[in-house]
A = this chain, B = another copy of it.
Amino acid sequence: MDIGGSKTEAVALDPAGRVVATTRLHTTGGTEGVLSTAVAAIDALARNTNRSVGDFAAVGIGIPGQIDREAGVVRHAYNIGIDHLPLAAQLAERTGLAITLDNDVTAAAIGAAHLMELSGTLAYLNLGTGLSAGLVVNGVPLRGAHGVTGEIGHLPVDPLGRPCPCGQRGCLETVASGSALKTFWPAGGDHPGRVLLGAVDAGDPDATAAFENLVRGAASCVRLLVLAMDPHTVVIGGGLRLLGPRLIDGIRATLEGWAAESPFLAELELSGRVQVLASDSPAAAVGAALD
């Protein structure tokens, strides 16, 4: 199950890891809202598979915020109205099932590796409201020491860049994220990604600057992930990937432009490593279930 700010997506996997049922619900925020949304999703999957809830072996949940996997606790998941919730224990109590939690981006990375049949090292770049990455080595996520693996959004890349809410300046997230689009192009409203390309085509200078920053910033993320981790594949996911070929082709063209100026980068074949998560892919839900 993937519990996101606006929707919750859940899949039932058979023992071979194949998706046998899918459901998608509006996420209700807050403790009671999240719990009842999760219960409703599990009930719907039981109905869709002609089984009872007790037939499921376990439930894996991908969710934003800071996740303590051992304790089964979610913290600071503000976009779903949760500051602190022992989600695993409370959902286990309501359903009788074993519940495990994971960071939604890590879950999406695991799911992308599985659904796209990618072996070796995969870096998953999540271009969403925020910016972060997940890392999977031969199907196994790299979790790190403090649960901050892949928090590349808060790496400064320009001493003269914009202040970031994290307290630093010129972080990657200040140029390549949904929140960056809002800053550079306030006229785009709460969901600027949905109307950005129309405004670019209409010649809006702020929208154009926001889009160019996004493309260059996302290309910087790909370069960073390749130099730090040398992944076989960089998969671009997150809501902003729905900007489609103009975003992805822009990222590839930027990487190729850099390669043309740097023999070192040219040898790395940056552009050739980039793939895109399919627009309807339930990667995070699948990854959470596999986890």
Contacts and interface: CB of A to CB of B under 8 A. Distances in A.
Interface in A86-143: 120-121, 133, 135, 137, 142-143
B230 A229 contact: no
Given A158-B159, A223-B155, A144 B263 contact: no
Nearest to A264: B166
A91 to B, nearest CB: 27
Contacts of A264: 154, 166-168
A227 B151 CA distance: 5
Report how many copies the assembly holds.
2
B227 A168 contact: no
B167 A230 contact: no
A273 B145 CA distance: 10
Contact of A152 (B145, B152, B157, B227): B227
A19 interface: no
A4 interface: no
Contacts of A167: 261-265
A56 interface: no
Interface in A130-189: 133, 135, 137, 142-152, 154-160, 166-168
Contact of A269 (B135, B146, B258, B263): B146
Nearest to A159: B158
Query: How extensive is the interface on chain A, given as a class?
Result: 35 or more
Contact of A230 (B148, B155, B156, B220): B148
Nearest to A227: B151
A60 to B, nearest CB: 21
A171 to B, nearest CB: 9
Contacts of A258: 168
A240 B145 CA distance: 27
A223 B149 CA distance: 12
Contact of A224 (B133, B220, B228): B228
30 contacts: A121-B144, A121-B145, A133-B228, A142-B229, A143-B230, A144-B229, A144-B231, A145-B230, A145-B232, A146-B230, A146-B267, A148-B227, A149-B228, A149-B229, A150-B228, A152-B227, A152-B228, A154-B227, A154-B265, A155-B227, A155-B228, A157-B157, A158-B158, A159-B160, A160-B160, A166-B263, A167-B263, A167-B264, A167-B265, A224-B228
Interface of A: 120-121, 133, 135, 137, 142-152, 154-160, 166-168, 220, 223-232, 258, 261-265, 267-269, 273
Given A149-B230, A166-B263, 6 more contacts: A137-B142, A144-B230, A146-B230, A148-B268, A155-B224, A166-B262
